[in-house]
């Protein structure tokens, strides 16, 4: 089978970059870039993610939604790594043990600044949070990052 080319190769390289990120040793998760401008992250909430009141800490919401929106936006950029410049969260439901899906979508911008939206859905199918982030094109080439393999 020939190696993937074009957009598909870029998406697989971004997924590889995600897997290589040291932070994901703490937050086991799997990124799928479904199409241009849309990313999905699957994650299992465990009790060791809980705060004192026995629900997932907000850190988990932020990480999952930031990553989903970030990768949705970076799917449109093939040469540079984007950087999160702001992210606003709305918590709508506590997360308990079970599968979580974070979905990120590119909303606007294609030059220097990108806007992405994300939501997180719990194991019962209910939305547990949503967020909006802004991401800026950096000077960091994707091709120089460990893990980015196109």
The string of pLDDT tens digits covering residues 90-112 is 999 999 999 999 999 999 999 99
Give pTM, 2 decimals.
Answer: 0.94
Residue 150 has pLDDT above 70, yes or no: no
* Sheet with 38-45: strands ordered across: 29-35, 38-45, 98-108, 113-121, 127-141, 80-91
CATH level 3 topology of 6-144: Thiol Ester Dehydrase; Chain A (3.10.129)
Q: What is the pLDDT of residue 4?
A: 64
The string of pLDDT tens digits covering residues 5-63 is 799 999 999 999 999 999 999 998 999 999 999 999 999 999 999 999 999 999 999 99
Q: Which pLDDT band, with edges at 50, 70 and 90, does 148 fall under?
A: very high
Alpha-carbon gap, residue 120 to 130, rounded angstroms: 6
Alpha-carbon gap, residue 106 to 115, rounded angstroms: 6
Contact 15, 32 (CB under 8 A): yes
Give the N- to C-terminal CA distance of the chain in Å, as an integer.
16
């Amino acid at each position: 089978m020939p190696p993937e080319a074009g957009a598909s190769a870029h998406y697989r390289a971004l997924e590889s970059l995600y897997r290589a990120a040291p932070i994901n040793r703490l937050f086991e998760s799997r990124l799928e870039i479904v199409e241009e401008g849309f990313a999905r992250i699957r994650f299992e909430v465990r009790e060791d993610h809980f705060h004192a009141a026995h629900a997932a800490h907000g850190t988990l919401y932020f990480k999952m939604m930031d990553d989903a929106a970030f990768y949705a936006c970076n799917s449109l950029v093939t040469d540079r790594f984007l950087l999160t410049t702001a992210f606003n969260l709305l918590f709508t439901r506590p997360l308990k043990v079970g599968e979580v899906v974070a979905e990120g979508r590119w909303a606007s911008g294609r030059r220097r600044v990108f806007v992405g939206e994300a939501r997180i859905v719990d194991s019962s199918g209910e939305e547990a949070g949503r967020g909006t982030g802004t991401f800026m094109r950096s000077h960091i080439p994707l091709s120089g990052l460990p893990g980015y393999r196109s």
